[in-house]
Chains A and B, each alone.
Chain A
Amino acid sequence: MNHARFLRHKNLVVFIALLLVSFILMGVSQTKITIRLKSIAYGVLYPFHFAGVKTITATSDFFASIKNNRQLKEELAQAREKIEEYERTQRDFEEIKKENERLRRLIGIQSEMSYETVIAEVVAKSPQNYYKTLIVNRGNESGIKKYMPVVAYQNDRKCLIGKVVDVQRFSSRVQPLMEQSSYTGAMLKKSRYSGILQGQSPISDYCLLQYIDRRAQINFGEIVVTSGMGGVFPKGIDIGEVVSVSKKKYGIFQEAMVRPFVDFSRLEEVYIIVKSVTEDTIKLFEEQ
């Protein structure tokens, strides 16, 4: 009797069961065990996702290359010229670098601290319109660890992208600045007032710089850089520019809306800064 009733309503029963499972998953989404399981599942799915992305990219590239054959030839010639130019520049640069080092030694200025970086190719972006998550082709094998900062060069500027949040053997997932759960220690480059930069929404192109001292005089277009506080991001990396300021009548802080310099839609390669994050910092992140 019950079996017959089930068969009659099986569509509805399965529908309710699947919705219930989804709802329960949402409820336990942030628990440690779920995050771990999700990471394992991501490791299993990644090769298929990667293969899918590569197939789509290869197909679209194939058709594009047929269509733009002439243009490609012109671009190739231009690229060759550029390479020659870059080689010349590189030679000049080496000379200038040596001269600069010699002069620095002479006047006793310590060299600016630089970090070791690993170049990574962006192999996939989130399959939906609603996230800006990036997947890059470097993982454990290349020495990448969780919470390592990620930067990119765009328009001759080194800009902050975000941090690594999930590492697999040959790939990593990068959380961009715009994610709501992303917090970055930042400061105003000119006035040196610091604050905390929080992502607003993955589809928003802006971040909010909070807890800035009320006395700070913030100008439109003022550059915001990393403050180095928090132990994750090195100090002085460009983040974006101020587009609006909000100062309430009362309170000790003010806020500024920041437009990041990086254009995520044009992102092809990123640099992961090989910088170990302390255990204490990791614990703090895990607790968040």
Chain B
Amino acid sequence: MYGHLAVRGVTPDFLLITISITAFLLGPMPGQIAGFIAGIAVDILSGGLLGMFAFTYTFVGYAIGMVGQRVYGRSILISTTLIFFVTLLKALLLTMIAALFLKPGYFGLFSNGRVFLEAVFNCLYALPLFFVVTRFQEKVTE
């Protein structure tokens, strides 16, 4: 879908970024619901194991929402750092689910530094997006 943004075959995960920002700014409930809906859509469109991305994104939405509630203010640095770690969390969850339902090492996510490259990508794309969303939120609040 975002083939033109790919580097070494890895593209940023815009859904993860959107879910993370939603959860960070609005809390765990909108975060996990957004994660579940987005995950189900990915599962259906990918033709893969139904529920796998729903599980992963729900987990991510809830986790970021909980952390976001405990962080004072709207720090762009904290949210970006969180996105780096939830990308790794997503890979870990997918690897575990794949080992359970598909085949161990099915995605090979931790080989060749794919996950780390995706995590860096996600952070880079999250920075401007987070900035725009927070500014927009501030304007609406005013």
Chain A residues packing against B (C-beta within 8 Å): 10-11, 14-15, 18-19, 21-29, 34, 38, 41-42, 45-46, 49, 52-53, 56, 60, 64, 124-131, 133, 135, 165-166, 173, 175, 180, 201-204, 265
Contact = CB atoms under 8 A, between A and B. Distances in A.
Given A14-B32, A203-B107, A22 B55 contact: yes
Contacts of B73: none
B46 interface: yes
Nearest to A173: B47
Contacts of B52: 22, 26
Given A11-B28, A21-B51, A45-B41, 11 more contacts: A19-B55, A22-B36, A25-B43, A26-B51, A46-B45, A64-B4, A124-B1, A124-B45, A131-B47, A203-B108, A265-B9
Given A45-B44, A129-B114, A26 B55 contact: yes
Interface of B: 1-4, 6, 9-11, 13, 15, 27-29, 32-33, 36, 39, 41-55, 58-59, 62, 65-66, 94, 97, 101-103, 105-109, 114, 118
Contacts of B50: 25-26, 28-29, 34, 38
By secondary structure, the A interface counts as helix
Contacts of A15: 28, 32, 58, 62
Centre residue among B4, B47, B109 by max chain A CB count within 10 A? B47
Contacts of A38: 44, 47, 50
Contact of B46 (A14, A23, A133, A180): A133
A41 B54 contact: no
A23 B97 CA distance: 9
A166 B62 contact: no
Contacts of B58: 15, 18-19, 22
Centre residue among A14, A15, A46, A53 by max chain B CB count within 10 A? A15
Given A45-B41, A180-B103, A203-B108, A175 B47 contact: yes
Contacts of B36: 18, 21-22
B45 A127 contact: yes
B4 A60 contact: yes
A11 B28 CA distance: 7
Contact of B62 (A11, A53, A129, A133): A11
A139 to B, nearest CB: 15
Contacts of B101: 26, 29
A131 B1 CA distance: 12
Contacts of B55: 19, 22-23, 26
Given A26-B51, A34-B50, A14 B1 contact: no
A133 B13 contact: no
A10 B58 CA distance: 15
Given A18-B58, A19-B59, A180 B102 contact: yes
Contacts of A19: 55, 58-59
A165 B102 contact: no
A42 B105 CA distance: 27
A29 to B, nearest CB: 4
